[in-house]
């Protein structure tokens, strides 16, 4: 439906309205609200959860790029889908999640892992300033890092760069598994966005025009799509090498610290 003319038009209208109606400072709140409504889909018992890891996630954990044991930092833990498998594989895990789903991840962990409530900005704050809800993470060191499925899509490219600077400090030798959406090409209704937003502004809408790469979905709220050159540039400027990359609409990659050899398990 979303690829049909009617679907594209509907998506364009919804995205433009949401950008116009919601100021950027409230994007994170709206996104959290969307996840709260559909949180049942991410918890134990729901099919997406019980199906476990995606094939590409399992392949990464089995690859020489990922250690066989050690301490894993799991950001954007959601309801605990990745957490459950990491624990089953014998990893020590410290996880964090900003939405109400963190309570589900906490239940999955039991007494086997630390699960904290916090966002990527809280993590950067913890590493940079040593305070905030994730401050105890800044004192730890990690052998591998997993950024939960699509979770980096909720931050901008500038925030992503800050995140990887902070990740490098707590995991100086740790590979990072990340997944994201690539930017959709312009379509026939793209020019409509600017015209529609001007109309909404004249009607008193408090928001701003949708920047390039920003989309909105009812299940996941506001999301940023990235381009391949942007991701490679961020990797290079934050001290990482892109060791593995599969560019699909929903892509995934493994970045390894440039100054350290990737650690293969025994």
Q: In what order do the strands lie in the sheet with 71-75?
A: 114-117, 92-97, 71-75, 144-147, 176-181, 250-257, 240-246
DSSP 46-94: SHHHHT-S-HHHHHHHHSTTS-SSSEEEEES-TTSHHHHHHHHTT-EEE
pLDDT tens-digit readout, 212-234? 788 898 888 999 999 999 999 99
pLDDT tens-digit readout, 179-219? 999 987 766 677 777 777 777 777 777 877 777 788 898 88
Asked if 233 and 159 count as a contact pair (C-beta separation under 8 A), the reply is no
pLDDT tens-digit readout, 9-48? 888 888 888 888 899 899 999 999 998 888 888 888 888 8
Place of tokens 């990072």: 176
Task: Indicate the helix (H) or strand (E) that contains 8.
Answer: helix 5-21
Domain map of the chain by residue range?
54-183+223-257
Asked if 123 and 163 count as a contact pair (C-beta separation under 8 A), the reply is yes
Which CATH number is correct for 54-183+223-257, 3.40.50.300, 3.40.50.150, 3.20.20.100, 3.20.20.70? Answer: 3.40.50.150
């Amino acid at each position: 439906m979303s690829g049909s003319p009617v679907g594209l038009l509907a998506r364009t209208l919804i995205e433009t309205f949401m950008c116009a109606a919601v100021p950027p400072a409230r994007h994170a709140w709206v996104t959290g609200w969307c996840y709260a409504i559909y949180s049942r889909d991410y918890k134990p018992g729901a099919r997406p959860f019980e199906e476990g890891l995606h094939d590409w996630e399992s392949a990464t954990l089995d690859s020489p790029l990922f250690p066989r044991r050690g301490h894993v930092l799991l950001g954007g833990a959601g309801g605990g889908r990745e957490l459950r498998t990491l624990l089953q594989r014998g990893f020590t895990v410290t996880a964090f999640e900003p939405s109400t789903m963190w309570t589900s991840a906490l239940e999955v962990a039991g007494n086997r892992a630390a699960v904290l409530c916090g966002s990527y900005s809280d993590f950067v704050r913890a590493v940079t300033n040593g305070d905030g809800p994730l401050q105890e993470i800044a004192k730890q060191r990690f052998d591998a890092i997993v950024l939960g499925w699509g979770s980096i899509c909720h931050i901008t490219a500038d925030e992503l760069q800050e995140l990887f600077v902070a990740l490098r400090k707590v995991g100086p030798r740790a590979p990072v598994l990340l997944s994201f959406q690539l930017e959709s090409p312009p379509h026939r209704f793209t020019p409509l966005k600017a015209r529609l937003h001007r109309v909404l502004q004249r009607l008193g809408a408090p928001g701003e025009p949708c920047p390039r790469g920003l989309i909105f979905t009812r299940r996941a709220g506001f999301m940023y799509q990235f381009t391949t050159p942007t991701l490679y540039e961020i990797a290079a400027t934050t001290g990482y090498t892109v060791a593995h990359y599969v560019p699909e609409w929903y892509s995934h990659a493994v970045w390894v610290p440039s100054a350290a050899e990737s650690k293969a398990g025994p």
